């Protein structure tokens, strides 16, 4: 009967190579891919290189960088974008060390000599816990995207409503005059897009534009992106120059390109 192979790799760290070899062979025989390391510094390097590593099995007392320090560094490198679970192995039953490890975020610990059956059960439990953490991370990222989209759509609908409620001015008002002073390529922009383009031309930042127009900074970024795409310009500097009256030559090229 074929055993399943876990999608999650196990980082096995111990300064004693025989222990690393024994643990890797045991875990691999039970469907886990392992990454063997004999120091905390080597483990950190492997962890950064391999995004499939999700479980960390490490010795507590190691020269140079002990297990707790190593786990804390992995946590720092992971930030809020990568999840992993750590299991600590210790040859000493020092209660203070165990408490320190648990406070540092270590999920479980086992005392040497290790009961491999119990260790396997612990690894399996942490694999399930890690899968739940991955779901939580994915939901968090999705919620952020949905919030950004909701804010942007809300601002766009508010802008559209304001445009619809504003009566068309008769005669040659200031807006008509200004529109004739800019390249023809800008005529395709909506009133709000043109308004954002004018403020970019005045050298204002996205934050300043957002404050002036009463919209979110994300929505300003969206408008700037739309303007650049519609006018076939490469960046906001080119856009700002095209909106500046003193650069008629550049504006002429923009209108004819």
Which token pair is 7? 């999608």
Maximum separation of any 2 CA atoms in the chain, in Å: 91
pTM: 0.54
Report pLDDT digits (tens) over 192-216: 888 888 898 888 888 899 888 888 8
Residue burial 54-79, b: 16+ Cβ < 10 Å; e: rest: bbbbbbbebeebbbbebbbbbeeeee
CATH fold group of domain 9-140: Rossmann fold (3.40.50)
Give me the mean pLDDT over the 72-81 stretch.
Answer: 91
Q: How far apart are CA 244 and CA 1, in angstroms?
A: 74
Listed by start position, the domains of the chain span: 9-140, 175-256
Name the percent of the chain lying above pLDDT 70: 77
Query: How high does pLDDT run on average in the chain?
Result: 82
CATH fold group of domain 175-256: Arc Repressor Mutant, subunit A (1.10.10)
Task: Report pLDDT for 227.
Answer: 87
Give me the mean pLDDT over the 3-18 stretch.
Answer: 91
Instruction: Provide the Cα torsion 39, 88, 51, 129; round to 10°.
Output: 180
Residue 212 burial by CB count (10 A; 0-12/13-18/19+): exposed, middle or buried?
middle
Through-space distance between the first and last CA atoms of the chain, rounded to whole angstroms: 67
pLDDT surpassing 80 at residue 183: no
Give me the mean pLDDT over the 15-43 stretch.
Answer: 96
């Amino acid at each position: 009967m074929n055993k399943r192979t876990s999608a999650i790799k196990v980082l096995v760290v111990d300064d004693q190579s025989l222990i690393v070899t024994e643990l890797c062979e045991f875990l691999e025989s039970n469907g886990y891919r392992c990454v063997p390391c004999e120091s905390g510094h080597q483990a950190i390097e492997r962890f950064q290189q391999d995004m499939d590593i999700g479980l960390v099995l490490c010795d507590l007392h190691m020269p140079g960088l002990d297990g707790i320090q190593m786990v804390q560094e992995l946590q720092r490198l992971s930030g809020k974008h990568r999840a992993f679970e750590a299991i600590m192995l210790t040859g000493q039953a020092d209660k203070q060390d165990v408490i320190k490890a648990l406070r540092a975020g270590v999920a479980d610990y086992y005392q040497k000599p290790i009961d491999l059956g119990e260790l396997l059960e612990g690894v399996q439990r942490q694999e399930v816990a890690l899968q739940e953490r991955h779901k939580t991370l994915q939901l968090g990222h999705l919620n952020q995207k949905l919030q950004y989209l909701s804010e942007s759509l809300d601002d766009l609908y508010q802008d559209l409503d304001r445009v619809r409620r504003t009566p068309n001015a008769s005669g040659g008002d200031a807006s008509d005059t200004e529109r004739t002073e800019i390249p023809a390529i800008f005529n395709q922009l909506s009133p709000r897009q043109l308004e954002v383009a004018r403020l970019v031309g005045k050298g204002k930042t996205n934050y300043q534009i957002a404050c002036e127009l009463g919209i979110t900074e994300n929505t300003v970024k969206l408008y700037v992106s739309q303007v650049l795409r519609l006018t076939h310009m490469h960046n906001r500097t080119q856009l700002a120059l095209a909106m500046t009256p003193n650069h008629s030559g550049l504006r002429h090229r923009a209108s004819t390109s």
